């Protein structure tokens, strides 16, 4: 039991040592002993406020969870912290007069998912959403065929797509690291700053990386599976079709025994992927 979706401004530690302030949406939950009628709900917020002025990374939430256990006399505590994390994205081609890249702020949907049980075991998961363009291989081949065989000008279809990466890890994995893995696997990330030259380069990237949803999820799997400090993961992909009235979806886990990520993906999981 607890409180869902209370809001706090939080300072998040960046990989380079700087911090950025985000507006976090937080759910705080604790176990309720069967003999008790309920908990003091306001303590969920008051306890978090004790740490609200500190600088957070995912490990900092262990301290808040211990405070929850103490203040609410609970044997288990759980926190979900969702926020938009900004990272500067250079334009693909465009330069300023001084030769430095043009660009803009890209905002990434991130959730810290943490739990502390009665044995003191701290579990931490990061959920990270990556939005990209996926050009259909079938449509591309048909367009090429029609151009060369039929002399008909065609445009292959592509769609805005999203991957949710959920990781269970040992050594620190930064949000910037997750972004780098996604860009390595799928370089067609949607762009913030675009001039004509950037649009041309993006069209080239799409053509060089045609992909069904099955291809996208395999690419992401291959990159994540190589990371020594990521012990388990789950990936969900959704291609928001421009041809069909439905979405093309896929999910996969690392496949280890006793995984905290099961192989079942619910309708709500797919519906929560907003891009």
Whether pLDDT at 151 is above 90:
no
How many residues make up the chain in this entry?
275
CA–CA distance, 198 with 193 (Å, rounded to integer): 8
Q: Does 275 have pLDDT greater than 70?
A: no
Could you tell me the two tokens for 196?
A: 């004509």
Instruction: Specify which residues 189 forms β-bridges with.
Output: 132
Residue 154's closest CA among 168, 141, 137? 141
Neighbours of 112 (CB within 10 A): 24
The model's pTM: 0.93
pLDDT reported for residue 62: 94
DSSP-based three-state secondary structure for 122: strand
Strand order in the sheet with 230-239: 55-56, 2-13, 19-30, 77-95, 101-116, 122-135, 158-169, 230-239, 248-253
Cα–Cα distance between 247 and 177 in angstroms, integer?
A: 28
For residues 19-34, give the mean pLDDT.
93
Lowest mean pLDDT among 5-14, 20-29, 183-192, 244-253: 244-253
Please write the tens of the pLDDT for every residue from 64-107.
Answer: 999 999 888 888 999 999 999 999 999 999 999 999 999 999 99
Other residues' Cβ atoms within 10 Å of the Cβ of residue 88: 10
The pLDDT score that the predictor gives to residue 83 is 97
What distance in Å separates the CA atoms of residue 78 and residue 210, rounded to the nearest whole number?
Answer: 40
- Mapped onto helix, strand or coil, the DSSP state of residue 30 is strand
In the predicted structure, residue 270 carries a pLDDT above the cut 80? no
- Rounded-to-10 torsion of CA 241, 92, 127, 111: -110
pLDDT tens digits, residue range 168-225?
999 899 999 999 999 999 999 999 999 999 999 999 999 999 999 999 999 999 999 9
Mean pLDDT of the chain: 93
Instruction: Assess whether pLDDT exceeds 80 at residue 17.
Output: yes
Three-state SS sequence of 227-245: CCCEEEEEEEEEECCCCCC
- Read off the pLDDT of residues 210-264 as tens digits, 9 standing for 90 and up: 999 999 999 999 999 999 999 999 999 999 888 888 889 999 999 998 898 987 7
Round to whole Å and give the CA distance between 114 and 271: 22
Share of the chain above pLDDT 90, in %: 74
- Give tens-digit pLDDT for 36-64: 888 888 889 999 999 999 999 999 999 99
Q: What is the mean pLDDT of residues 115-121?
A: 92
């Amino acid at each position: 039991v607890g409180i869902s979706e209370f809001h706090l401004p939080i300072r998040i530690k960046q990989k380079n040592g700087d911090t950025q302030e985000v507006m976090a949406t937080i759910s705080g939950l604790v176990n309720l002993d069967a003999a008790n009628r309920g908990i003091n709900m306001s303590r969920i917020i008051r306890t978090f406020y004790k740490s609200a002025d500190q600088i957070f990374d995912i490990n900092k939430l262990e301290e808040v969870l211990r405070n929850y256990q103490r203040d609410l006399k609970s044997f288990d505590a759980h926190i979900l912290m969702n926020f938009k994390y900004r990272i500067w994205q250079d334009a693909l081609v465009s330069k300023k007069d001084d030769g430095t890249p043009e660009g803009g702020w890209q905002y990434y949907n991130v959730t810290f998912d943490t739990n502390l049980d009665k044995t003191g075991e701290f579990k931490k998961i990061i959920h990270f959403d990556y939005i990209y363009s996926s050009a259909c291989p079938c449509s591309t081949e048909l367009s090429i065929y029609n151009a060369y065989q039929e002399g008909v000008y065609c445009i292959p279809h592509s769609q805005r797509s999203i991957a949710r990466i959920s990781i269970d890890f040992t050594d620190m994995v930064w949000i910037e690291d997750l972004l780098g893995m996604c860009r390595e696997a799928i370089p067609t990330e949607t762009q913030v700053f675009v001039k004509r030259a950037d649009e041309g380069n993006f069209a080239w990237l799409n053509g060089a990386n045609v992909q069904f949803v099955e291809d996208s999820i395999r690419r992401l799997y291959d990159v994540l599976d190589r990371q020594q400090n990521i012990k388990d993961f789950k990936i969900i992909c959704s291609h928001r079709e421009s041809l069909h009235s439905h979405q093309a979806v896929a999910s996969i886990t690392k496949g280890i025994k006793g995984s905290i990520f099961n192989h079942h993906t619910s309708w709500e999981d797919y519906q929560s992927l907003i891009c």
